[in-house]
């Protein structure tokens, strides 16, 4: 039965009134004033009650107001806890950290705290236990009759057992006016007994929850983007390292979702046994894929073969460690945490060694995974109560993982650059080998000439003639190929080549879900140039116009002469809105340019984009309509046809 301070205060004031009313003895007054407050003191006077009506902040950490009692036999009930012999066993929490860390224990722990409402109205507050891995949480609160009501929830129960739908454990508290109430929490879990308890104002907590889930969405959105991006790279390059990176990012994201309670909320709400082991299994798989990715990325079997053997052993241990969690989570949890810590240290030391040996990818790898490993070490140290529990240590792995994704993006870009340089180097070496072979052949020819002079001279002349003919033939072939795809006047692609480009883009869009825009442009009143200045001047205008197109279009765009004064631009991987913005800039530059002899000239543009099932004829028909609509509308403008 709860003892409320209100009852003591009322009794104290009533007796004070009676004593003061009878002035017969001043001694009685002094004895009363000394003794009565002592008798009216709350039986839990070791605890400082928190006045919920006078909170200085929107939320406060209340762990320093906890008193704890260890229940080693797991047999104490709420009625027994309130008895005097058990009440005296509670010990005041002297730790001022935001979280009460009781470590790993098979015992249950009772936590007691007292709240006070000194205002004239009832007050609603929110109690948040922001650690999602606690298996059993019993929350006891008194009702209007002083009888305790209990709420049983935890990670070992269905998500729907929680009184407030949240990834953490949240309990609404209603405090009547002018009241003192004592609350109890019973915590039991095979995982680390970490209790980060905060008391929130109701509206402030709603804002906090919104911001919290927004931050989680930001992180997992970034992880999803990195997975999809590297999946596209893997499908394009078929490089196994990208598949390993995808596996690592995916497993790490799911592990963090399990650690943070999001997996329990959205993926396996009714799971009991799996909810207990999911995060540790996830850590083992994440570190396993991390080691595999590191070996592939840093080529450890070549650079540090002895340490690579240790890495293989560590991979094997991580592969079998989840079996122990399925057998007995309580027995294997600490050894597996130690195994994870050793793996993190191994990742950092291996990266540093490879960086010392000037392995280029190791530089990025060290910085990227150092952030991740620091976050992981912080979480493990928090589990062993070596550092304080706060926002940084709680979400350290998530912060490190986000930085790791960004830094590995630079590493992948550098990987592309290295592949390109290695290809150029291989081509250069092949050319040098070819030149060396040619020199050897010439040397052999000279030796043969010395032995059989007359025959060698004749053969040399024949070879020279043949080489000259081959060179001439090759030059002719190159010229013919160039003429076949190039407009002779402007140097741009001709219509034949443009048809080939359009066929290629249509195929790419149909089978690779790509997009491109088509631009047809025409020099306004070009016929007047030929009529007034002659065809040589008109040719110079066309040449200068082609130069402007080549200069101001993007490197990825393909430009050609369609015929006469008409030109065609293929904007690859571009939608019609983006193409219109690009072409508007081109149109302005052309209209401002001073052409030789004729001065300023303008152009009209028609734009369309690829639609599912389009043919070249259909797209050209639409873009031609757009061009002529631009001419009819006054020229020097852009029209689109969808």
Catalytic residue selected from 114, 128, 276, 565: 565
The answer to whether the beta carbons of residues 333 and 278 sit under 8 Å apart is no
The answer to whether the beta carbons of residues 339 and 321 sit under 8 Å apart is yes
Distance between CA atoms of residues 527 and 532, nearest Å: 9
Q: pLDDT tens, 476-497?
A: 787 777 777 898 899 899 999 9
Q: What is the mean pLDDT of each run of 10 residues along the chain (642 residues)?
A: 37 41 41 37 55 80 89 90 86 78 90 92 92 93 89 93 94 91 93 90 91 88 87 84 88 90 92 88 92 87 91 93 88 89 88 85 77 72 59 68 74 73 85 87 83 76 82 80 84 92 92 91 93 93 94 93 94 93 94 92 95 92 95 94 86
Which of 282-312 are b and which e, b meaning 16 or more Cβ less than 10 Å from the residue's Cβ?
Answer: bbbbbbbbbbbbbbbbbebeebbeebbeebe
Helices then strands, counting H and E runs in the chain, come out as: 20, 20
For the CA atoms of 576, 581, 586, 592, what is the dihedral angle to 10 degrees? 140
> Residue 39 has what pLDDT?
35
Q: Reduced to 3 DSSP states, what percent helix, strand and coil does the chain have, rounded to the nearest 5?
A: 60, 15, 25
> Residue 4 has what pLDDT?
36
> Residue 382 has what pLDDT?
59
Instruction: Look up residue 493 and give its DSSP letter.
Output: B
Respond yes or no: is residue 70 known to be catalytic.
no
Specify the pTM: 0.57
DSSP 514-574: --EEEEEEEETTHHHHHHHH-HHHHHHHHHHHHHHHHHHS-TT-EEEEEETTEEEEEEET-
């Amino acid at each position: 039965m709860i003892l409320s301070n209100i009852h003591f205060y009322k009794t104290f004031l009533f007796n004070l009134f009676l004593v003061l009313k009878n002035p017969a003895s001043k001694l009685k007054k002094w004895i009363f004033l000394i003794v009565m407050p002592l008798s009216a003191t709350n039986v839990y006077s070791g605890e400082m009650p928190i006045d919920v009506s006078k909170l200085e902040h929107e939320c406060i950490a209340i762990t320093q107001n906890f008193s704890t009692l260890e229940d080693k036999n797991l047999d104490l009930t709420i009625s027994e806890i309130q008895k005097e012999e058990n009440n005296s066993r509670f010990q005041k929490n002297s730790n001022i950290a935001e979280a009460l860390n009781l470590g790993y224990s098979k015992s249950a722990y009772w936590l007691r705290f007292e709240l006070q409402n000194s205002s004239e109205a009832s007050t609603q507050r929110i109690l948040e236990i922001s650690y999602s891995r606690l298996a059993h949480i019993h929350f006891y609160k008194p009702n209007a009759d002083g009888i305790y009501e209990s709420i049983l929830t935890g990670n070992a129960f269905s998500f729907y057992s929680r009184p407030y739908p949240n990834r953490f454990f949240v309990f609404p508290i209603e405090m009547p006016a002018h009241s003192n109430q004592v609350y109890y929490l019973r915590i039991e879990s095979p995982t680390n007994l970490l209790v980060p308890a905060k008391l929130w104002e109701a509206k402030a907590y709603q804002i906090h929850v919104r911001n919290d889930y927004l931050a989680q969405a930001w992180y997992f959105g970034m992880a999803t983007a990195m997975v999809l991006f590297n999946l596209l790279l893997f499908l394009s390059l078929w490089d196994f390292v990208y598949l390993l990176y995808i596996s690592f990012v995916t497993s790490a994201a799911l592990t963090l979702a399990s650690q943070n309670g999001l997996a329990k909320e959205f993926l396996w709400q009714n799971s009991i046994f799996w909810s207990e082991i999911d995060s540790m299994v996830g850590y083992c798989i994440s570190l396993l894929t991390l080691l595999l990715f590191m070996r592939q990325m840093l080529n450890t079997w070549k650079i540090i073969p002895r340490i690579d053997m240790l890495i293989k052993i560590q991979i094997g241990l991580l592969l079998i460690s989840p079996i122990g969690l399925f057998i007995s989570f309580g027995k294997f949890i600490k050894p597996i945490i130690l195994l994870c810590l050793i793996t993190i240290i191994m990742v950092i030391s291996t990266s540093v060694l490879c960086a010392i040996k000037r392995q280029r990818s190791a530089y990025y790898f060290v910085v990227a995974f150092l952030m991740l490993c620091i976050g992981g070490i912080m979480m493990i140290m928090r589990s062993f109560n070596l550092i304080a529990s706060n926002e940084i240590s709680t979400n350290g792995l998530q912060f490190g993982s986000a930085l790791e994704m960004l830094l590995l993006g630079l590493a992948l870009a550098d990987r592309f650059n290295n592949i390109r340089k290695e290809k150029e180097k291989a081509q250069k070496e092949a050319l040098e080998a070819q030149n060396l072979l040619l020199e050897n052949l010439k040397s052999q020819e000279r030796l043969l000439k010395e032995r059989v002079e007359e025959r060698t001279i004749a053969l040399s002349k024949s070879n020279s003639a043949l080489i000259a003919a081959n060179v001439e033939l090759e030059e002719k072939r190159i010229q013919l190929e160039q003429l076949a795809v190039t407009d002779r006047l402007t140097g741009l692609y001709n219509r034949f080549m443009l048809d080939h480009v359009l066929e290629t883009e249509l195929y790419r869009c149909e089978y690779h879900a790509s997009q491109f825009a088509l631009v047809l442009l025409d020099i306004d009143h070009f016929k007047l140039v030929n009529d007034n200045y002659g065809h040589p001047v008109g040719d110079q205008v066309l040449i200068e116009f082609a130069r402007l197109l080549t200069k101001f279009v993007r490197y990825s765009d393909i430009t050609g002469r369609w015929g006469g004064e008409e030109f065609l631009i293929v904007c690859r991987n571009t939608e019609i809105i983006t193409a219109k913005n690009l072409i508007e800039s081109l149109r302005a530059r052309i209209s401002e340019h001073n052409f030789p002899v004729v001065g300023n000239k303008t152009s009209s543009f028609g734009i369309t984009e690829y639609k599912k099932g389009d043919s070249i004829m259909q797209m050209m028909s639409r873009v031609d309509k757009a061009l002529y609509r631009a001419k009819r509308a006054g020229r020097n403008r852009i029209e689109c046809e969808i």
